Amino acid sequence: MSALARKAEALDAADELAPIRELFTLDPDTVYLDGNSLGALPRHVPDRMREVITHEWGALRIRSWEESGWWTAPERIGDRIAPLVGAAPGTVVVGDSTSVNVFKALVAAIRLAGPDRDEVLVDATTFPTDGYLAESAARMTSRRIVPYVPGDPVGPRTAAVLVNHADYRTGRLHDLPAVTAAVHAAGAAVVWDLCHSAGALPVGLEAHGVDFAVGCTYKYLNGGPGSPAFLYVRPDLQASFDSPLPGWNSHADPFGMTAGYAPADGVVRGRVGTPDILSMLALESALDVWEGVTIEAVRAKSLVLTDFFLECVRLESLTPVVHAERGSQVSLRCENAGAVMKELIARGVVGDFRPPDVLRFGFTPLYVSFGDALRAARVLGEVLG
Amino acid sequence: MSALARKAEALDAADELAPIRELFTLDPDTVYLDGNSLGALPRHVPDRMREVITHEWGALRIRSWEESGWWTAPERIGDRIAPLVGAAPGTVVVGDSTSVNVFKALVAAIRLAGPDRDEVLVDATTFPTDGYLAESAARMTSRRIVPYVPGDPVGPRTAAVLVNHADYRTGRLHDLPAVTAAVHAAGAAVVWDLCHSAGALPVGLEAHGVDFAVGCTYKYLNGGPGSPAFLYVRPDLQASFDSPLPGWNSHADPFGMTAGYAPADGVVRGRVGTPDILSMLALESALDVWEGVTIEAVRAKSLVLTDFFLECVRLESLTPVVHAERGSQVSLRCENAGAVMKELIARGVVGDFRPPDVLRFGFTPLYVSFGDALRAARVLGEVLG
């Protein structure tokens, strides 16, 4: 047995999260390092969904909006996600896609600023959809977009700043406390996109006074394909949250069916239309795997796991080596990355390819083992020859 | 046996759609007249969803975006809905809530108009969420809302008109061909909300040259709680469809991950973020009940069914008696309507209450029988004493 194999074995033996892996449906022939794209299926979800479909929809039908708690699911599930991102109860609501929530949050952030603040700063390497929606938000509020590199100064013309907490391509983790403080010092509001950090590492929304945040639930939160996104609104900003998508679900009296819009109190104000209950309840069920797991333990394992993987591979890493700057993925620069990833997948190591030259491997500490990391590195070595 | 009972029996015996009822999960003790709020569960959906969850998500995971056709589900399911609303393939896309689609369609409609067209006409008795979103669309495009009664003249200052095809409260069906023609004659664009007509009656989007339409899939299309809505864009308007929610799913090259937004061709342009696959595939599966069923047959039964129900009850109907003005529901004016509906539900007749004084009964011809209509009327008579 090689030194690396012995090390992997020892790390797995000492891993307090190792038993959590059993809660997921995994294939012994596959190393799944794409949980940052679509999280694996928690084993108990199919049975719960059968109950939702046959009993709650099939038998109770319309009564389930009240009796099965469908109506309040967006805020109830928000409260389940809140502790994972360091937020208080009543500050997170689930629904719609991340894209739609970026639009809501950014427009609301811009509307807090005076008209002289005509610039919207957007993370220069943002996940594309955030940029497209920011362009639309700027256009519809008569602002202009300025590319922003986290750490750059923020000026008096800034209305709002949109930043990805972890860069989807490189895995670089931005300094949320420092950027938030800098934006606040300039008198602006910040919207954090937590798609690649929620469920992977502590975010500390409340501790760092973040204004708004959005995030994805089908990556590290394993909610299922296209499960609804979440929106965070800081408690003191909820009363002035002025959504560009004021649907009947965010009305103070949704069943009053009044012609005038009167927004509900609280983060419920971030809701819009009827929530997609099946996707939403699959997410709620998937969150059960977090019972007794702390996000700090997840982060600790993630760093050791990605350290170990970096030790096992020889390609150049785009993902920072410094822990404070690393998300829960490793992106390696590689010639013919597209073809290499295809071959890796054919050999049972599933990551993804990001053009032009990036092999991206996501490490979900809840179900990825050190043995997995070693096997992935070995197969990669074989493919590269 | 009473004359009405004999008539119900004869009508059920002659009903060509009667066998479709067997495709649904229904409770023999309940008359379900709330399918215009949440359609009943088609029997085969739970098994299909188990396969989606355990195999497509659980086993194939990320590969399902391609191998299981997840990525193209919004337009594929749109093509399944298209014939039910008289639309051609490639004109309907599924995703997001109705509310969000109202915003997309109305902003896109307004953007077709010159700046001198400063008015947005909105159905004066619209379902509230349409009105709230229209207010937001008008605010964000510097227009003002003018309440509109379908049939009223449309003037040269009108940018766009938003109308509900069937009124959610009264069940009144508006004259889609005439209103569309009048709006076009005034040089404006129309957005039809088909929530209470899609799957209940022929809409004829293409035949009448409708510009944009949105609709719900969890009512007469039985897609499940909060199943995604649909958006129709007339073929010749697709190239200029300027969405306020341009997400990566509507990009011409979504996996190119480019910073600049370049919209896709076709109705795909109406997509935004990652689709909620579980809710979406439940809808797709639910649409199987339409195999061999024409919307004309559904409409024919709906009119006979609601005629018969009106014959059996004695309360004042808010729903027009004239067929051309009637949707697929019957709304009755009733003192203490809230308490009366509670008692009806306790006795197994499920409709809903709309403040202040309306008992609303939806008739889904796919699974409601004439015997159901008679029983509902009799129980109502008993409750009223």
SS3 sequence of chain A: CCHHHHHHHHHHHHCCCHHHHHHECCCCCCEECCCCCCCCCECCHHHHHHHHHHHHHHHCHHHHHHHCCCCCHHHHHHHHHHHHHCCCCCCEEECCCHHHHHHHHHHHHHCCCCCCCCEEEEECCCCHHHHHHHHHHHHHCCCEEEEECCCCCCCCCEEEEEEECECCCCCEECCHHHHHHHHHHCCCEEEEECCCCCCCCCCCCCCCCCCEEEECCCCCCCCCCCCCCEEEECHHHCCCCCCCCCCHHHECCCCCCCCCCCECCCHHHHCCCCCCHHHHHHHHHHHHHHCCCCHHHHHHHHHHHHHHHHHHCCCEECCCCCHHHECCEEEEECCCHHHHHHHHHHCCEECEEECCCEEEEECCCCCCCHHHHHHHHHHHHHHHC
Let me know if A218 is a catalytic residue. Answer: yes
The whole-number pLDDT of residue A258 equals: 87
Per DSSP, which regions of B226-374 are E strands? Answer: 230-233, 329-333, 349-350, 352-354, 358-362
Kindly state the tokens that stand for A166: 């972890």
- Per the DSSP assignment, residues forming a β-bridge with B120 are B145, B160
User: In the structure encoding, which two tokens stand for residue A163, read together?
Assistant: 């930043």
Query: Which amino acid, B83?
Result: P
- Give the number of other CB atoms < 10 A from CB of residue A124: 14
CB pair distance less than 8 Å for A246 and B135: yes
Contact of A171 with A329, CB cutoff 8 Å: yes
Q: B278 and A225: CB-CB below 8 Å?
A: yes
Cα(B341)–Cα(B353) distance, rounded to whole angstroms? 6
Chain A residues whose beta carbon lies within 8 Å of the beta carbon of residue B108 = none
CA distance B349 to B377: 9
Chain B residues in contact with A196 by the CB 8 A cut-off are: none
Q: Determine the pLDDT at residue B257.
A: 85
**Average pLDDT of the residues in A190-209:** 98
Contact A259 B127 (CB under 8 A): no
Do A146 and A120 contact (CB within 8 A), yes or no? yes
Neighbours of A36 (CB within 10 A): 26
What is the per-residue pLDDT for A27? 92
The DSSP code for B275 is: -
Residue B301 identity (one-letter amino acid):
K
* Cα B181 from Cα A217, distance rounded (Å): 45
As a whole number of angstroms, the distance between CA A153 and CA A182 comes to 7
CB contact under 8 A, A278 and B225: yes
Q: Is the peptide bond before B365 cis (omega within 30 degrees of 0)?
A: no
Tokens matching residue B13: 């015996």
pLDDT at B256 over 90: no
Residue that the structure tokens 């939160």 belong to? A221
Q: Give me the pLDDT at residue B1, please.
A: 79
Reported as a single tens digit per residue, the pLDDT across A286-327 is: 999 999 999 999 999 999 999 999 999 999 999 999 999 999
Chain B residue with CA closest to A101: the answer is: B273
Given its phi and psi angles, is residue A204 left (phi above 0), alpha (psi -120 to 50 degrees) or beta? left
Answer for the pair A16, A359: CB distance below 8 angstroms, yes or no.
no
The residue in chain A having the minimum alpha-carbon distance to the alpha carbon of residue B227 is: A276
Contact at CB, A128 and B53, closer than 8 angstroms: no
Bridge partners (DSSP) of residue B92 are B232
The verdict on B256 touching A (C-beta cutoff 8 Å) is: yes
Would you tell me how many other CB atoms lie within 10 Å of the CB of residue B155?
13
pLDDT of residue B32: 98
Note whether B34 contacts A: Cβ–Cβ < 8 A: yes
CB contact set of B14 (below 8 Å; sequence gap of 6+): none
Residues in chain A: 385
- Asked if B266 and B89 count as a contact pair (C-beta separation under 8 A), the reply is no
Structural contact between residues A242 and A104, judged by C-beta atoms closer than 8 angstroms: no
H-run or E-run covering B161: strand B158-164
Distance from CA of A328 to the nearest CA of B (A): 18
Mean pLDDT of B48-64: 98
Residue B16 near chain A (CB below 8 Å): no
Question: pLDDT tens digit string along A256-295?
Answer: 888 899 999 999 999 999 999 999 999 999 999 999 999 9
At A79-121, the pLDDT tens digits run 999 999 999 999 999 999 999 999 999 999 999 999 999 999 9
CA distance A36 to chain B (A): 10
Query: What does the mean pLDDT of chain B come to?
Result: 97
pLDDT at B152 over 90: yes
Instruction: From B126, B171, B192, B163, select the one nearest B327 (Cα to Cα).
Output: B171
Contact B272, B253 (CB under 8 A): no
Q: In what order do the strands lie in the sheet with B329-333?
A: B329-333, B358-362, B352-354
Tell me what ipTM this predicted complex has.
0.97
Q: Which of the four pLDDT bands, split at 50, 70 and 90, describes residue B258?
A: confident
Q: Which long-range contacts (CB under 8 A, 24 or more apart) does A10-16 make?
A: A11/A304, A11/A308, A11/A370, A12/A369, A12/A370, A12/A371, A15/A301, A15/A369, A15/A370, A16/A297, A16/A301
> What is the least distance, in Å, from the CA of A177 to any CA of chain B?
26
User: Chain A, 49-108: which have a CB under 8 Å from a chain B CB?
Assistant: 49-50, 53-54, 56-59, 61-62, 64-65, 70, 96-100, 103
Residues A70-78, mean pLDDT to the nearest whole number:
98
Catalytic status, residue A7: no
Tell me how far apart the alpha carbons of residues B196 and B167 are, in angstroms, rounded to a whole number. Answer: 7
B329-364 pLDDT tens trace: 999 999 999 999 999 999 999 999 998 999 999 999
Residue positions counted in chain B: 385
AA letter at B21: R
State how far the alpha carbon of B185 is from the alpha carbons of B176, B179, B181, in Å. Answer: 14, 10, 6
A220 is catalytic: no
Query: Which tens digits make up the pLDDT trace of B186-226?
Result: 999 999 999 999 999 999 999 999 999 999 999 999 999 99
Query: Would you call A148 a catalytic residue per the annotation?
Result: no
Please report, rounded to a whole number, the percentage of residues in chain A having pLDDT higher than 70. Answer: 100
Closest chain A C-alpha to B3 CA, distance in angstroms? 33
- Chain B CB contacts of A135 under 8 Å are 246, 261
By Cβ distance, the residue of B62, B96, B136 closest to A350 is B62
pLDDT at A185: 98
Q: Are B130 and B212 in contact (CB under 8 A)?
A: no
What is the Cα–Cα distance from B233 to B148, expressed in whole angstroms? 22
Contact (CB, 8 A) for A318 and A331: yes
Q: Is B356 within 8 Å of chain A by CB? A: no
| Secondary structure element (H or E) that encloses residue B80, with its range | helix B73-81
Interface with chain B: mutation pick from A41, A53, A55, A227, highest number of B CBs within 10 Å: A53
B259 pLDDT band, cuts 50/70/90, is: confident
Which pTM was predicted? Answer: 0.98
